[in-house]
A = this chain, B = another copy of it.
Amino acid sequence: MADAIRVTVWNEFRHEKHLEPVKKIYPNGMHKVIADFLNAEPDIKARTATLDEPDHGLTDDVLAQTDVLTWWGHMAHHEVRDDIVEKVHHRVLEGMGLLAFHSAHYSKIFRKLMGTSCTLRWREAGEKERIWVVQPGHAIAKGLGEYFELPHVEMYGEFFDVPQPDNLIFVSWFQGGEVFRSGLCYHRGCGKVFYFRPGHETFPIFKDPNVQRVIKNAVRWAAPVETAVRPRSSNPPPLEKL
C-alpha cells in the first residue's frame, strides 16, 4: 500500500481562545477538528501546527515532512513571520499541496501565491450559502450532488480578486444576493493550491459532512506528484548540435 499522505493542519488558533462562541464550537481549536476527521481516513496522517508555537509550528523539519498543508487564519495574518511564509512558498513550488480555507484568502501565503490583492466583498449576517458543483468530473467534487447547503455563514462575494483558476469547481449562491467562485484549483510550480470558501469560525462549518468530504478530496488531489522537475534556473548546453 502507498504511504499515507502527511498533512499538517495549520491554524491561527486565536479566536478559539478568546471568543466564547468560537470556543464553544471548537474547544480545542478548529485544527483539532480538521485533523481528527482527516485522521479517520486510512490513507491520511494529519498533525497540527499553530501560530503561537515556535516558528508557528512550521520548522524546516515539519515542512519537509508535509505533503499537504492546510491553512486557516484571520485576525493575525500580519503576525505570521515573513521568513516562514518564504519557506512555505518555496515548499509549494517544490510540490507541497496547500489548501487555503475561508479567511485564509487574505493570508500572506495565499496572497503571495496568487499575486493579486485577494480582496472580496463580505458580510457577517449568518445567511444561507448554497454551493453548486460546476465541474462534476473533478476529483475534488467526488461524492457530491448538484449542490450542498450551509445554513448559516459569513458571506463572501465577487469581485474576488484572484487569478482565473486552472479549474473552477464550485460557485456559491448567497441569500443576500451575491455569488462567489468558492472552489478554485491552481498549479504553482510543482505544487497545487486549492482555495475553499467555507470555514467561518462562528459557525460549525468544519463539522459539516460535505465540507469534510471536500477537504478530504482536496488533500488527495493536492498531494505531491513524483517528479524530477525542479523550479530553478538552469543553464545547460544544447541538446541538439547548433
Residues 152-188 of A, flagged 1 when their CB comes within 8 A of B and 0 if not, give: 0001011111011011100111111111010000111
Of A27-35, A45-53, A56-64, A118-126, the one contacting chain B is A118-126
A117 adjacent to B132 (CB under 8 Å): no
A168: which B residues are within 8 A, CB to CB? 164, 168
A123 adjacent to B163 (CB under 8 Å): no
Is chain A's binding surface mostly helix, strand, loop or mixed? loop
**A4: CB under 8 A from chain B?**
no
A186: which B residues are within 8 A, CB to CB? 163
8 A Cβ contacts from A183-221 to B: 186-192
In the complex, the chain B residue whose C-beta lies closest to that of A96 is: B137
**A238: CB under 8 A from chain B?**
yes
B228 adjacent to A145 (CB under 8 Å): yes
By size class, the interface of chain A is 35 or more
**A113: CB under 8 A from chain B?**
yes
A59 to B: closest C-beta gap in Å: 22
B167 adjacent to A164 (CB under 8 Å): yes
* Alpha-carbon distance A164/B168, docked complex (angstroms): 8
Of A15-23, A76-84, A229-237, the one contacting chain B is A229-237
A164 adjacent to B161 (CB under 8 Å): no
**A54: CB under 8 A from chain B?**
no
B227 adjacent to A137 (CB under 8 Å): yes
* Alpha-carbon distance A184/B221, docked complex (angstroms): 18
A65: which B residues are within 8 A, CB to CB? none
Known interface pairs A136-B227, A146-B228; A237-B123 also in contact (CB < 8 Å): yes
**A40: CB under 8 A from chain B?**
no
Q: From the candidates B95, B145, B173, B224, name the one contacting A173 in the complex (CB within 8 A).
A: B173
* Alpha-carbon distance A147/B191, docked complex (angstroms): 18
B239 adjacent to A176 (CB under 8 Å): yes
**A112: CB under 8 A from chain B?**
yes
**A127: CB under 8 A from chain B?**
yes
Q: What are the 4 closest A-B residue pairs judged by CB atoms, nearest first?
A: A177-B239, A176-B238, A136-B229, A145-B228
